[in-house]
Structure 1
Amino acid sequence: MSETVNVHDAKTHFSRLLEQAHAGKEIILSKAGKPYARLVPLAEAPGVRQPGHLQGRLDDAFFDALPDEELTAWEGR
């Protein structure tokens, strides 16, 4: 759900609007009654990838070629 706020009110209540945006609410800033900008929360930073996560969980059979019937199913023939 979004809320439309004019620029003057946004300057007056910026801290409150910032907290609302951080909580997930979209704030539309308007100037002269027209939408001008959007205040939205930033996306979460992706986690750091750690190599070796599956070490010891896969054996060599995991890399064997697939049987023909399974290949056919994956290829949609």
Structure 2
Amino acid sequence: MRQLASIREVNQHFSKFIHATEKGNEVIITRRGTPVACLIPFSTPWRKLDNKQDEARQRTLARMKKGYHLGGTRLTRDELHERR
């Protein structure tokens, strides 16, 4: 179930809204009637990656760290100024 509440109301009765989210409700927080934030239940605990997923993550991080060569050349400051 979704519930709308103003920032002021949430500020004054924060524990009430935390209890509502613990029961599975979403609380949409508004400022002058416009939604600006949402309190949602933390129902999905973080899960540990299995070996295959962790290896894929490590490969991806290594690729990101290494970067990709796009065929460009490095320029010195003097070469860069000459091109102007």
TM-score (norm 2): 0.52
Structure 1 unaligned spans of 5+: 50-77
2:50 is the alignment partner of 1:44: no
Cα deviation, 1:2-39, whole Å, max 9, x if unaligned, reads 01000000000100100100110010000111001010
Instruction: Say which structure is richer in helix.
Output: 2
Structure 2 unaligned spans of 5+: 50-84
1:43 shift after superposition: 2.5
* Higher RCO (C-alpha under 8 Å, 6+ residues apart): 1
2:17 is the alignment partner of 1:7: no
Q: Identity across aligned pairs (percent)?
A: 24
Alpha-carbon distance in structure 2 between the residues aligned to 1:36 and 1:24: 20
- Deviating beyond 4 angstroms after TM superposition, the runs of 4 or more aligned structure 1 residues are 46-49
